């Protein structure tokens, strides 16, 4: 039972940690790759002990959802908690066309000419309405971990996003506990792979 709780808490918390790591532009892909592997691990540790693939699928897709929602929720919460507002000027705007539409990236600098360490992206406010030389206000991370964003209200509040991420976290943990719980006699329990004495015990 203790091992079940270790998996139920460890998997979603590790996915949340990967989502936070992926918020750093230099560590985006390592965070996403490790987080994706953890999503598949959620399926393995949930399904294999008792051949319960339903809870395993729920745990896996819940972990994928958590990887998406947790990063956005953590970003908004961090910016709200310790983000610093700064007046900047747009020094360069880059527009790239691709199959999915257009990507925008804006290089901004403080009014004294010091460039911010990271650019604005489409997700953080860069778009066709920003032109070179325009003065805007951004919220930046004084620790240098997160990208800045325009000082505008987010589509969803930090509280809403944290609530969604918390609900998904509980759902993933519950799915793992459900899948790893011992089947009742006469309801799918079997000797061998599906039983508590089978080879798939994690």
Q: Residue 184: pLDDT above 50?
A: yes
Which pLDDT belongs to residue 193?
Answer: 46
% pLDDT > 90, the chain? 67
Alpha helices in the chain (DSSP H): 2-21, 28-47, 53-82, 158-180
**CA distance linking residue 28 with residue 146, whole number of Å:** 11
Domain chopping of the chain, boundaries: 2-79+156-180, 84-140
Which pLDDT belongs to residue 118?
Answer: 94
**CA distance linking residue 97 with residue 64, whole number of Å:** 28
Query: In this predicted model, what pLDDT tens digit does every residue of 73-82 receive, in sequence order?
Result: 999 999 999 9
The count of C-alpha atoms lying within 13 angstroms of the C-alpha of 89, restricted to the half-sphere facing its C-beta, is: 8
Question: What is the residue whose two structure tokens read 């459900």?
Answer: 178
Q: Residue 103: pLDDT above 50?
A: yes
Q: Residue 138: pLDDT above 80?
A: yes
**CA distance linking residue 95 with residue 178, whole number of Å:** 48
């Amino acid at each position: 039972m203790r091992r079940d709780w270790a998996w139920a808490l460890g998997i979603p918390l590790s996915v949340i940690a990967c989502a936070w790591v992926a918020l750093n532009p230099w560590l985006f892909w390592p965070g996403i790759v490790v987080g994706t592997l953890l999503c598949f691990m959620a399926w393995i540790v949930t399904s294999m002990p008792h051949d319960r693939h339903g809870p395993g699928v729920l745990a896996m897709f819940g972990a994928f959802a958590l990887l998406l929602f947790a990063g956005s929720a953590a970003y908004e919460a961090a910016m709200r908690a310790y983000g610093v507002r700064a007046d900047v000027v747009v020094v360069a705007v880059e527009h790239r066309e691709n199959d999915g539409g257009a990507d925008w990236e804006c290089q901004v600098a403080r009014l004294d000419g010091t460039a911010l360490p990271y650019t604005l992206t489409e997700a953080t406010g860069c778009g066709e309405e920003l032109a070179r030389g325009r003065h805007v206000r951004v919220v930046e991370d004084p620790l240098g971990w997160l990208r800045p964003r325009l000082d505008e209200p987010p589509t969803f509040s930090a509280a809403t996003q944290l609530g969604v991420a918390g609900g998904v976290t509980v759902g993933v943990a519950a799915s793992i506990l459900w899948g790893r719980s011992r089947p009742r006699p006469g309801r799918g329990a079997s000797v061998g792979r599906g039983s508590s004495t089978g080879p798939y015990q994690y």
